[in-house]
Chains A and B, each alone.
Chain A
Amino acid sequence: MDFLSDHQPEMLPGNRQLPPTQGVIEAPHGTTIVAVTFPGGVVLAGDRRATMGNVIAQRDIEKVFPADEYSAVGIAGTAGLAVEMVKLFQLELEHFEKVEGAQLSLEGKANRLSTMIRSNLGMAMQGLAVVPLFAGFDVDRAKGRIFSYDVTGGRSEEHNYAATGSGSIFARGAMKKLFREDLTEEQATTLVVQALYDAADDDSATGGPDVARRIYPIVTVITEDGFRRLTESESSEIARAILERRLEQPDGPRAALL
C-alpha cells in the first residue's frame, strides 16, 4: 500500500532491515498447494502440515486463504512470512475496493501479488522464500483462472491445473493423469484431494488426511457465487471416500494406457 509505505514503512515486509545471518534459518515451512479449474470455477486446496527441517512443526496449519470475494491464495514456503504477506494482500484488495468503489481485475490482483513476492526477494535468498498459488474467478471472462509464481515474483498463468510447494511434482503428476476438461465441481474437489494424497504419499513434508486426529485438507471453491470453503464434514467425506478406495488400490485410480 502506497499510503503505508509513506506513513509507516516498517510495517511492510519488504522494508525491514535484515540482520546478517549464517546458514539456513530454521522456521516452519508450508508445503503442498494444488489448484484445478473446472467449467464454472476453480478449486484451490492445501494440505495441513508445516515442517521445520525434519520435524513436523504443526499438523493442522491452514494454508489456503480467501483473498477477497472472488479469489483465494494458497501459500507454500516460510509460514510466518507467507501469512503476513496474505494478510497484507487481503488488506490491499479490500482497501482498493472500498476507496475506488470497484474491485480490482483478476489480472490486477495477480500483478499486485507478484510485486509483493518480489519485495521478499532478500529474505528468499536467505532461504525464507514464499511461493504462493493464486486462484480466482474472473468475473469479466466468467471462468476460473490460476496464477503461479516463482521466488523472484515471476508470474505465469497456468491452464487447467497447477501445484506449488515441496510435494508439487508428485501432485502435478497425479493431476496430469486425472484431469479432464469437463469436470464437475464435486469431481474437481475429489481430484485435488487425490493429488494431495499422492503428494503426501511421496513427499515427507506433505501431510495426508489424518483420520485419527480428524485433520483433513482444506478445500476451497470459487465460482460465480464467490468464495466458499468446504466444511470439515464435506472435506472429510471426500478424504474418507478416497482412503476407502486406496485400501484396495494403494496407488489410486489408474489412467488408461493408451
Chain B
Amino acid sequence: MSTPFYVSPQQAMADRAEYARKGIARGRSLVVLQYADGIVFVGENPSRALHKFSEIYDRIGFAAAGKYNEYENLRIGGVRYADLRGYTYDRDDVTARGLANVYAQTLGTIFSSAAEKPYEVELVVAEVGETPEGDQIYRLPHDGSIVDEHGSVAVGGNAEQISSYLDQRHQDGMNLSEALKLAVQALSRDTNGSEREIPAERLEVAVLDRTRPQQRKFKRIVGRQLGRLLESGGATTEAESSDEE
C-alpha cells in the first residue's frame, strides 16, 4: 500500500514557479521602452502573422513572452474587457491599471489553482499618456504579481541580463530611432556575452505614439519605415515616425 507523499506548500509553489519560468525562458525576449513621443515595443519574431505585440485599446498596448496559445488567450480576453468597458462607460474609462489588475487576477488564480498548470507567460501592459510622465508600464510575471516599471522593461529568455543592460543606457527623452537602436543592441546580446546580428526582417516593432492624430495610438512599424529608423543617425523627425505606410 502506498501513502501519498507529503509535499509542503512552499515546495509545490516553488515547483510551479520553476516550471513557468522555464517555459518563459524558452521563448525569445522582448523589450518595452519609453521614448520622447511614447512607448516602443521591440522583439525578435521570425513570424509575420503571429504577433507578440498588439493593440488593446486607444492608448493601451500589450506585449507577451512565453507560450503563444496562452498569451493569445489572455490578449483576446483583454481586448474584450477593454471594448466592453469602453462601450458601457466611455473610452476614457479604459485604463492600463484596470486591465493589469484583471490580468493579475487571472494569472494569480491559474497559478495557485492545483487543478491547472500555471501559464508559461510573462506580460507587459503599457499605456501612453498625454506627457511622458503620464506613461504607465506594468510587467505581469507568471504568478499574478504586478510590477510597475519605468523607462525600460524586458521579459522572456534572458530578461535579467537585457534589463540591466537597458537600465544602464536608457535615458528619458530619447527619440524613436535612438530607443529602437538601443533595444536592438540589448536584444542581440547573447547569454554568453557575445553579440549576434538580428536582421530587420526578424524584428517585430510597434509603438504607442502620443503624437498620432487618431484616437488609436497603436501602430506597427514595418518594412521601409523600420529600415529607415534603424539606419538614420538619430536624426529622426516626428514627421517620419508619424507618417503612415
Cβ–Cβ contact A98 & B87, under 8 A: no
Query: What CA separation (Å) do A88 and B84 show in the bound complex?
Result: 10
Q: Which residues of A contact B87 (CB under 8 A)?
A: 11, 87-88, 91
Q: Which residues of B contact A3 (CB under 8 A)?
A: 80, 84
Q: Which residues of B contact A94 (CB under 8 A)?
A: 83, 216
Q: Which residues of B contact A225 (CB under 8 A)?
A: 244
CB distance from A175 to the nearest CB of B (A): 31
Cβ–Cβ contact B79 & A98, under 8 A: yes
Q: Which residues of B contact A101 (CB under 8 A)?
A: 49, 51, 54
Closest residue of chain B to A87 (Cβ to Cβ) is B87
Q: Which residues of B contact A4 (CB under 8 A)?
A: 84
CB distance from B218 to the nearest CB of A (A): 9
Cβ–Cβ contact A99 & B88, under 8 A: no
CB distance from A227 to the nearest CB of B (A): 10
Q: How many A residues, CB 8 Å from partner?
A: 14
A95 within 8 A of B: yes
Cβ–Cβ contact B88 & A11, under 8 A: yes
B143 within 8 A of A: no
B12 within 8 A of A: no
CB distance from A3 to the nearest CB of B (A): 6
Set B49, B83, B88: member contacting A95, Cβ < 8 A: B83
Produce 1/0 per residue, B60-93, CB < 8 A to A. Answer: 0000000000000000100110011011100000
Q: Which residues of A contact B49 (CB under 8 A)?
A: 101
Query: What CA separation (Å) do A225 and B213 show in the bound complex?
Result: 14
Closest residue of chain B to A101 (Cβ to Cβ) is B51
Cβ–Cβ contact B83 & A91, under 8 A: yes
Closest residue of chain B to A225 (Cβ to Cβ) is B244
CB distance from B242 to the nearest CB of A (A): 14
Interface of A is mostly: helix
Q: Which residues of A contact B244 (CB under 8 A)?
A: 225
Closest residue of chain A to B84 (Cβ to Cβ) is A4
Set B76, B84, B86, B216: member contacting A99, Cβ < 8 A: B76
Cβ–Cβ contact A99 & B79, under 8 A: yes
- Among A75-97, those with CB < 8 Å from B are 87-88, 91, 94-95
Cβ–Cβ contact A98 & B55, under 8 A: yes
Closest residue of chain B to A227 (Cβ to Cβ) is B214
Set A88, A91, A95, A98: member contacting B54, Cβ < 8 A: A98
Q: Which residues of B contact A88 (CB under 8 A)?
A: 87
CB distance from A221 to the nearest CB of B (A): 16
Closest residue of chain B to A97 (Cβ to Cβ) is B55
B56 within 8 A of A: yes
- Among B69-123, those with CB < 8 Å from A are 76, 79-80, 83-84, 86-88
Query: What CA separation (Å) do A237 and B83 show in the bound complex?
Result: 38
CB distance from A192 to the nearest CB of B (A): 24
Cβ–Cβ contact B88 & A91, under 8 A: no
- Among B35-60, those with CB < 8 Å from A are 49, 51, 54-56
Q: Which residues of A contact B83 (CB under 8 A)?
A: 91, 94-95, 98
Q: Which residues of A contact B86 (CB under 8 A)?
A: 91
Query: What CA separation (Å) do A137 and B222 show in the bound complex?
Result: 23
Q: Which residues of B contact A95 (CB under 8 A)?
A: 79-80, 83
Query: What CA separation (Å) do A91 and B84 show in the bound complex?
Result: 9
Query: What CA separation (Å) do A99 and B56 show in the bound complex?
Result: 9
**Which of B49, B80, B87 gathers the greatest number of chain A CB atoms within 10 Å?**
B87
Closest residue of chain A to B56 (Cβ to Cβ) is A98
CB distance from B56 to the nearest CB of A (A): 7
Q: Which residues of A contact B51 (CB under 8 A)?
A: 101
Query: What CA separation (Å) do A4 and B55 show in the bound complex?
Result: 20
Question: What are 22 A-B interface contacts by the 8 Å CB criterion?
Answer: A3-B80, A3-B84, A7-B84, A8-B84, A11-B87, A11-B88, A87-B87, A88-B87, A91-B86, A91-B87, A94-B83, A95-B79, A95-B80, A95-B83, A98-B54, A98-B55, A98-B79, A98-B83, A99-B79, A101-B51, A101-B54, A225-B244
Given A98-B55, A225-B244, 5 more A-B residue pairs with CB atoms under 8 Å apart are A4-B84, A11-B88, A91-B86, A95-B79, A98-B79
In the A-B complex, the 3 residue pairs with the smallest Cβ-Cβ separation, listed nearest first, are A98-B79, A95-B83, A91-B87
